[in-house]
Amino acid sequence: MESFNFRSVLIDVSSLQGSVLLGFVAFVEGDNDQDALLSSQAICMVQIMRLPHCLSSDPIRREVEIRLFWQCWMMDAWHTSRLQIPRRLNDSNFKRPLEERAFNAMQPGDPASHLSEADIESLGLRNSGLWSSMLTLTEIHNQVVQLNDQMVQISIPYSEIRRRVVELSLKLDLWIRELPDHLLNTFSNRETHAKSGLGREFAILHLLYHHQSQLLYYQFLNKGSTIIGADMDDEAVAYAAQCKAHAAALSEIMWDTNSTPGMECLWSPVNGHLLVVASSIHLHTLLFSTSDAEIAKARRLLEQNFIMLLHFQKYWPFLEFSMSRLRSFHRACQINATEKNFDMDRWMIQFLNRYGSRVQDRHNEFGRDLYESDPIVGTSAAAALWKEVSGSEFRQFLGNLNSS
C-alpha cells in the first residue's frame, strides 16, 4: 500500500488497476474505510481520465480501458446500493466489454484495424459476452435493493410495492429469455466455458441471476401462507415458491461449481453472503413446509451450504460477517419459530443488503449483541447450533470437524 501511495504517476491505467485491486483486498479483509477510499479514488480516476469517452488507439489497451470503466461502474453500483449513497457513474450508454474469448485472442502488436469496431458490431461481440450480460443484472440488483430499502425506510403503498415487483420480475424474465443460447445454464455450456477457462465467470453470471431473484421475492416468504383457514394470496404464494426455487438453484450451482477441480468458488467472499441468504430461505422451508420431500431437500442444501461456508472461511476473513449473520438468523428462529422472523423490517434489510457488517440479534432482549464477543465459526458452540437443523451425516461431519 505504501508503494502505491508514493507512485510517481498518480493517474493512469496502471494506477487505476492498482486502486481497483487494492480496494478489493481491503474489502475481503473487512477494512470498509480503506475499501471506500480506494474505490472512490478509482471512480475519480475514471472520471478524470474521461473513460470511456477517450480511448487508446491500441486495440488491447482500448479494450482494457473499456473493461476498467465497467469494473468501476459495477463497483460503484454495488457499493452505493449496499450503503444507500448516490451513484457517481450513472450513465450506462457506452460500449460494452468485448466478448471474453475474442478479447483473450487479441495479441500485442495487433494493428489498429484489427477487429475494427465495425467488425465487432457486425459479429455482435459487445452483446454476447458474460460480462456484458452481467451489466443488466447489476442494474436490476440496484433496483431490487432500493425497493427493499424503501419498503422499510419510507412509506410505500402496498399496491406500489406489488407493481414494482411485477416490473422487476418481468425484467428478470426478459433477461433470461434474451440470454444467448451459449450462455444458458446447461451442462454443455458449463463444460464448454470450463474448458476455455471461463467456467467461474459462467457460474457468476447465473449465481447473480438467482441472487437478484431470491432478493426480489424474499418479502413474500411470510405472505405466501398455505395454512388452512388463512387468507390466500395466490400471487404471493407463487412469488414465495419462486424465492425458494431460486435459492435452491443458487445453492446447487455453487455446490456443483465448487466441487469441480479448478473451479472452486473462491473468487469473492460475497459468495458467502449469497449462500447465507439462500440458507435462510432453506431454513424457512425446514421450519414451515409440510412436505417431507421439500424438508429433506432443504436439509441437504443447508448442509452443503454450511460445508462450503466453512471452506470459504479458510480463505476469506470477511466470511465471519456472513457466518455471524446466519447464526443470528438461526438464533432468532430458535427463540421464536414463527414466520415473523421473515418480515421485511429494518433488521431484515441489514441482513439482506448490508453484507459488509455484522447484524445484531433479531430478538435482542433474549440474547446478546453480535457486536460484542461473537464466537468463531468452527467452535463447538457454532457446531451445536447447527446440529438441530442437520441430519446424522452432517452431525458426524461437524463432530469430525471439531475433533480435527
Global confidence as pTM: 0.87
Tell me: the pLDDT tens digits for 177-193? 999 999 999 999 999 99
What's the pLDDT score for residue 381?
A: 40
Return d(Cα 193, Cα 205) in angstroms, integer: 12
Provide CB contacts within 8 A for 39, sequence distance 6+: 19, 23, 75, 76, 79
Provide CB contacts within 8 A for 259, sequence distance 6+: none
Return d(Cα 241, Cα 235) in angstroms, integer: 10
pLDDT category, 370, cuts 50, 70, 90? very low
Q: Is the pLDDT assigned to residue 391 strictly greater than 70?
A: no
Q: Is the pLDDT assigned to residue 388 strictly greater than 70?
A: no
Reported as type and span, the H/E element at residue 2 is helix 2-5
Q: Of all residues in the chain, what percent are helix, strand and coil, respectively (each to 5)? A: 65, 0, 35
Q: Is the pLDDT assigned to residue 299 strictly greater than 50?
A: yes
Alpha carbon distances (Å) from 143 to 165, 167, 174, 212: 10, 10, 15, 10
Of 105, 98, 103, 172, the C-alpha closest to 129 is: 98
Q: Is the pLDDT assigned to residue 128 strictly greater than 90?
A: yes
Return d(Cα 204, Cα 210) in angstroms, integer: 10
What's the pLDDT score for residue 114?
A: 78
Tell me: the pLDDT tens digits for 199-231? 999 999 999 999 999 999 999 998 865 444 456
Return d(Cα 193, Cα 128) in angstroms, integer: 14
**pLDDT averaged over the chain?**
86
Q: Is the distance from CB of 112 to CB of 58 less than 8 angstroms? A: yes
DSSP symbol at 220: G
pLDDT category, 385, cuts 50, 70, 90? very low
Return d(Cα 136, Cα 92) in angstroms, integer: 10
Terminal CA-CA length for the chain: 37
pLDDT category, 28, cuts 50, 70, 90? confident
Tell me: the pLDDT tens digits for 305-330? 999 999 998 888 888 888 888 888 88
Is residue 169 classed exposed, middle or buried when 0-12, 13-18 and 19+ CB atoms within 10 A define those classes?
Answer: middle
Tell how far CA 208 is from the center of its chain.
Answer: 6
- H helices of 84-198, where? 100-104, 117-123, 130-153, 158-178, 187-195
Return d(Cα 204, Cα 257) in angstroms, integer: 10
pLDDT category, 404, cuts 50, 70, 90? very low
Tell me: the pLDDT tens digits for 257-292? 999 888 889 989 999 999 999 999 999 999 999 999
Q: Is the distance from CB of 105 to CB of 45 less than 8 angstroms? A: no
Of 106, 118, 72, 117, the C-alpha closest to 91 is: 72
Q: Residue range 77-94: average pLDDT?
A: 89
What's the pLDDT score for residue 312?
A: 93
Return d(Cα 97, Cα 73) in angstroms, integer: 12
Residue where the block lists cell 460477517: 321
pLDDT category, 52, cuts 50, 70, 90? very high
What's the pLDDT score for residue 340?
A: 84
What's the pLDDT score for residue 184?
A: 97
pLDDT category, 334, cuts 50, 70, 90? confident
As a three-state string, the secondary structure of 28-83 is HCCCHHHHHHHHHHHHHHHHHCCCCCCCCCCHHHHHHHHHHHHHHHHHHHHHHHHH
Overall size of the chain counted in residues: 404
Q: Residue range 86-108: average pLDDT?
A: 93
What's the pLDDT score for residue 40?
A: 94
Q: How many CB atoms lie within 10 A of CB 357?
A: 14
Which cell numbers in the block locate residue 252? 446447487
What's the pLDDT score for residue 253?
A: 97
